[in-house]
Amino acid sequence: MTETSQGAGTPPPAGPGTARKGTGGRRPSRARDNVPARQRPVARVAVDIPLAHLDRPFDYLVPERLAGSAVPGCRVRVRFSGQLVDGFVLARADASDHPGRLSYLDRVVSPEPVLTPEIAGLARAVADRYAGTLADVLRLAIPPRHAGTEAKPSPSAASPPPRPEPGSWARYPAGGAFLAALAAGRGVRAAWSALPGPDWPGEIAVAAAVTAAAGRGVVIVVPDVKDLARVDAALTARLGSDQHVCLTAELGPAERYRRWLSVLRGSVRISAGTRAAMFAPVHDLGLVVLWDDGDDLLAERRAPYPHAREVLALRAHRQGTAALIGGFARSAEVTQLVAAGWARALAGDRGALRTAAPRVRPAADEDELARDEAALSARLPSLAIRTARAALGSGPVLVQVPRRGYLAAIACGRCRAQARCTVCAGQLEIAGARQTPQCRWCGAVAASWSCPRCGFTRVRAVVTGAARTAEELGRAFPSVPVRFSGGQNVIAAVPADPAVVVATPGAEPVAADGYAAALLLDGWALLGRPSLRAGEETLRRWLNAAALVRPAARDGNVIVHADASLAVVQALIRWDPAGFAERELAERDELSFPPAVRMAVVSGPAAAVGELLGVTGLPAAAEVLGPVPDDQAADGAARAGDADSNGAAAPGGDADSLPVRALIRVPRAEGSALARALQSAQATRSPRKDHGIVRVQLDPAEVL
């Protein structure tokens, strides 16, 4: 963080939107009192302005009255282009490289050093990796200030816990060696294929306790609050309540900031949380943990769109710390880390797997097809019904349904043409029993719908949602309660009593004694998604649900409704996520798809995308695919009434304003060069804003 530029009070190179005038705008009384600090009078400030051409530190003079409070890492207010803006002091120096006159800091918002050197360096590295700006990353890394909370002292640091026993880590052949490496402070990195069952939160707690016992800090990141509650309970049971804090947006600004400050001030050494906790300022970091890295909740929705996996891997690499990236499934990205030698596989042997895993059967194997010819086409095959009926005698049964709602898509009952809205051409759905079809896009009610092709007025279901499935199962098992978990009504846990639990992927509750069986319905809906990750994501969702089922030794059964010959189904039956991920990575390597290559998606108005591609000095090995029409953006415009149902320009529009997207891919070795080229191109365009805003996203989860 040593790059500097001219002070905010001196004119920069000419360019629209960047001119500043002297020290104009400062309060005269304060300006007369400003005298440079006697020691280290120059402050290098990261100004909170997310414009690419201003993404660099600026030098300011520190007045003597602020010499003691303007410490590196504190929040300040500075005059920039005639306006007061926020910033962080990155460093204090004896002199500036800028030959002209510098402006003074306006004031110190708080002397609390909230931006540590480690997080400042990490934020810069993340911005560079994702072709973003430091200001955008710092907004993700540092929560808003809460003055009342900041004024209160944090409790003193708790004593390090004793080193725990390995516990269920003994099931892994390399588990003992991994814990020994943590205790010795070595930077061991593991790609963890967790054994099925409820033990993974406790295993994370043991790894964290071993690291904390050695006097090192831990950062734990999980996808959602449901997973966080399980990790929190495991940490509390293992370490007590004073050794860790949980960070999540649901806490509210004051409580979240209080807990974040306790981490910053060293009161606790273990921080667990959802995505934003990847930047937690833990002291003496010794271990980073990421659970279920394939979950899309771990990808940041705000620029520059970093993924928690990449941020934590960067932290581990920069700090030389240990890393534990695990889950029941394995992503192609983690497999790439193993193939590159950055991480080592950590998995149970086949004996431990047979002991922990349920029995998995396809709904339409050869024996079942001989018994029931409709086993593959029926939505609730007879094997699934028989398995559920038998399992309900000993416990709850989980039913995973990929889609929310009642009838998520409908079609003409005669010619089977998809039913569409007459207002905006969006898809029609039926939200509940005996309800009128309505549009998923604009909400228009289609009370008198008739098929424009054949004139028929009745509809049939095309995609059946979880609510309709729960209704059907309630009729099939009238004496058993049916519970639903999904959408805004996610259930965290269910008792061991017999019940049918219908859930969408990711919303499956934890059963008190494990599920007696699980039915994984509508596999075609998951596998048929137009996504590069359809197979990988399907296996992840299936494994996460199957891991909640009792072991086969306790008659735990999983029925998957999909073609048994598919590789993803076979991987589920064998419980072989690593083998499937290695196959997936080999196919992507052959086709030059991520993560075998690094890829950027450039999207925006056609003129703006064309302008950016024209000024980008791409690496020689770069391949540009497109631009092509951006269907997702066009759909959004159609929903807003800005385009017709085909994504064409609305009257009064022009081709230059149509949304398009282009893909740029390079070999992995050229990834940094691609990011620098895109950063430079954005910096060239940002002062002008001639043709609109271009969104640049590197390594997106979806590229199709």
Task: Answer whether 58's CB lies under 8 Å from 104's CB.
Answer: no
Give me the phi and psi of 483, to 5 degrees please: -110, 145
Distance between CA 58 and CA 67 in Å, rounded? 18
HEC sequence for 473-532: HHHHCCCCCEEEEECCECCCEECCCCCEEEECCCCCCEECCCECEEEECCHHHHHCCCCC
- Give the pLDDT confidence score for residue 32 in this predicted structure: 56
pLDDT in tens, 426-453: 888 877 777 788 887 888 888 888 898 8
Residues 205, 294, single domain; the answer is yes
- The average pLDDT across 182-200 equals 97
Q: Does residue 368 belong to any structural domain of this protein?
A: yes
Domain final position from 89, 115, 141? 115
Over residues 302-306, mean pLDDT:
95
**Are both 455 and 484 inside the same structural domain?**
yes
**What average pLDDT does range 595-607 have in this prediction?**
93
- pLDDT for the residue 632: 66
Q: Is the pLDDT of residue 644 over 80?
A: no
Residue 375 has pLDDT above 90, yes or no: no
How many domains, the chain? 4
Q: Which of 234-243, 347-356, 631-640 is least confident?
A: 631-640
| Cα 625 to Cα 603: distance, rounded to the nearest angstrom | 12
pLDDT at 10: 37
**Residue 164 CB-half CA count within 13 A:** 23
The answer to whether residues 367 and 347 belong to one domain is no
- Residue 658 pLDDT exceeds 70: yes
- Which band of pLDDT confidence, cut at 50, 70 and 90, is reported for residue 468? confident
Above pLDDT 90, what percent of the chain? Answer: 63
Q: pLDDT tens across 394-417, in order?
A: 999 999 998 877 677 778 888 888
Say whether both 579 and 597 belong to one domain: no
Higher per-residue confidence, 216 vs 9: 216
Domain membership of residue 125 (yes or no) is no
User: Domain boundary at 332, 353, 374, which?
Assistant: 353
pLDDT band at 467 (very low <50, low <70, confident <90, very high): confident
Whether 692 and 678 share a structural domain: yes
Which pLDDT score, from 0 to 100, does residue 83 have? 92
Model pLDDT, residue 445: 87
- Inform me whether the pLDDT recorded for 215 exceeds 90: yes
Label residues 335-360 b or e (16+ Cβ within 10 Å = b): bbbbbeeebeebbbeeebbebbbbbb
pLDDT value for 461: 73
Q: Are residues 272 and 318 in the same domain?
A: yes
- What is the average pLDDT across 505-516? 95
Residue 381 lies in a domain: yes
- Same domain, yes or no: 607 and 491: no
Specify whether the CB–CB gap between 113 and 72 falls below 8 A. yes
When mean pLDDT is compared across 375-379, 565-569, 592-596, 674-678, the lowest value belongs to: 375-379
Which structural domain range is residue 654 located in? 592-698
Sole residue written with tokens 């593959």: 376
Residues 77 and 224 in one domain: no
Can you tell me the mean pLDDT for 372-390?
A: 74
pLDDT of residue 671: 94
Is the pLDDT reported for residue 646 higher than 70? Answer: no
pLDDT over 90 (residue 210): yes
Contact 415, 451 (CB under 8 A): yes
Calculated CA dihedral for residues 477, 478, 480, 481, nearest 10 degrees: 110
User: Do 245 and 209 share a structural domain?
Assistant: yes
CATH number at 223 reads: 3.40.50.300
Give me the amino acid identity at 22. G
Residue 92 burial by CB count (10 A; 0-12/13-18/19+): exposed, middle or buried?
A: middle
Q: What percent of the chain has pLDDT over 70?
A: 88
Angle subtended by helix axes 308-319 and 117-129, to nearest 10: 130
Which of 30-39, 212-221, 470-479, 610-619 is predicted least confidently?
A: 30-39
pLDDT at 378: 61
Structure tokens at 80: 């920039």
pLDDT of residue 687: 83
What CATH code is carried by the domain that includes residue 611? 3.30.70
Model pLDDT for residues 129-180, shown as the tens digit of each residue: 999 999 999 999 999 999 989 888 888 888 889 999 999 999 999 999 999 9
DSSP states of 250-261 as a string?
GG-HHHHHHHHH
Q: Do 288 and 309 reside in the same domain of the chain?
A: yes
Same domain, 556 and 598: no
- What is the pLDDT confidence band of residue 11, given thresholds at 50, 70 and 90? very low
pLDDT at residue 365 in the model: 64
In a domain, residue 131? The reply is no
Separation CA 357–CA 363 (nearest Å) = 18
Evaluate whether residue 367 is within a structural domain: yes
The verdict on 687 and 660 lying in the same domain is yes
Q: What pLDDT was estimated at residue 85?
A: 96
Per-residue model confidence as pLDDT tens digits over 236-280: 999 998 999 999 988 889 999 999 999 999 999 999 999 999 999
Strands 217-221 and 75-80: unpaired
Whether 155 maps to a domain, the answer reads no
pLDDT confidence bin for 312, thresholds 50/70/90: very high
- Of 124-128, 304-308, 350-354, 654-658, least confident by mean pLDDT is 654-658
Q: Are 541 and 582 in contact (CB under 8 A)?
A: no
Q: Is residue 6 very low, low, confident or very high in pLDDT (cuts 50, 70, 90)? A: very low
Q: Please report the DSSP string for 422-439 in residue order.
A: TTT-PBEEB-STT---EE
What is the reported pLDDT for 269?
Answer: 94
pLDDT reported for residue 548: 98
Average pLDDT for the chain: 87
The pTM for the full model equals: 0.88
Looking at residue 387, its pLDDT comes to 93
| Residue 96 in this model has a pLDDT that exceeds 80 | yes
- 371-375, 383-387, 612-616, 641-645: least confidently modelled range: 641-645
Q: Can you name the residues that pair with 84 across neighbouring β-strands?
A: 79
Of 565, 585, 605, the residue that ends a domain is: 585
Q: What is the pLDDT of residue 400?
A: 94
**pLDDT tens-digit map of 51-75:** 999 999 999 999 999 999 999 999 9
**Mean pLDDT, residues 285-314 taken together:** 96
What pLDDT score was predicted for residue 635?
54
Q: Is residue 623 part of a domain?
A: yes
Tell me whether residue 109 is in a domain.
yes
pLDDT at 650: 41
